[in-house]
A and B are shown apart, each in its own frame.
Chain A
Amino acid sequence: MSDRAERTAEPGYREFRPRWYRPKMSTWWWLKRWSSLAFILRELSSIFIGWFVVFFLLLVGALTRGAQAYEQFLSWAASPRIVILNAVSLAFIVFHAITWFNLAPQAMVVRVGGKRVPGALIAGGNYAAWVVATALVAWLIVGG
């Protein structure tokens, strides 16, 4: 104790008391820059993926109940509110898809013969897979 008293008595001496550096973040921090707004918009695609699963399960439920319920589902899906919701969801999910595929080269480092496969090739492969998957699903549902 006496040691401490001596030290504080020294002129110009202040005991070092570190404080945590905690900058105050505003709730709306992501509105300040386009890149952070784009980040939040991309993250919000999660809500619309959730909505899509609900919408899809409603379709499955209607199919289970029969041809008439399926007709009713389609006319309900044609109501303006649902169409707008689905159009907005589609926009968000396409945004998710594009950002996801563009990030793929960073997340996936592929080496062939000791050389890194260029990122454009990996992203291109992802887009090619997108085209193939889209064609396959459309063929199964529309044609088939």
Chain B
Amino acid sequence: MARRPIEPLLWIVFSAGGVFAALLIPVLLFLFGLAFPLGWLAPPSHAHLVAVLGHPLARVILFLLCIAWLFHAAHRFRYTLYDGLQLQHLKELIVLLCYGGAIVGSVVAGICLWQLPAR
């Protein structure tokens, strides 16, 4: 097999994304996906959220988190397809779709976070 020096990097990003997904997504998804829409908790005001998420440091952290989460998901989904569905023969296509999706998602995340109004 050819040497692929990018593979260790992908595993590092996979681990980082896995840790931050485990630490942060449950609370974020609980709040924004269930508690606020269903009125279990009073949703924060628009101004407050823009102030919190639009802070320059918060934007940078959220951008890095999005990259890590997306590459974590892409890497894991790649192996799910390989092993779960026995699709080793579609290697190139799967790699392209998974990491391509993660790259596109990261760019979109950067644009979205960049456009948040500064306060």
Contacts and interface: CB of A to CB of B under 8 A. Distances in A.
B5 interface: no
Given A46-B80, A137-B28, A78 B23 contact: no
Contacts of B21: 49, 93, 96-97
Interface residues of B, number: 57
B13 interface: no
Nearest to B38: A78
Contacts of B85: 27
B28 to A, nearest CB: 6
A138 B27 CA distance: 7
Interface in B6-59: 15, 17-19, 21-34, 36-39, 41, 43-44, 46-50, 52-54
Chain A to chain B: the 5 pairs with minimum beta-carbon distance, closest first: A86-B33, A97-B22, A78-B37, A77-B37, A46-B76
Interface of B: 15, 17-19, 21-34, 36-39, 41, 43-44, 46-50, 52-54, 66, 69-70, 72-77, 79-80, 83-86, 101, 105, 108-109, 112-113, 115-117
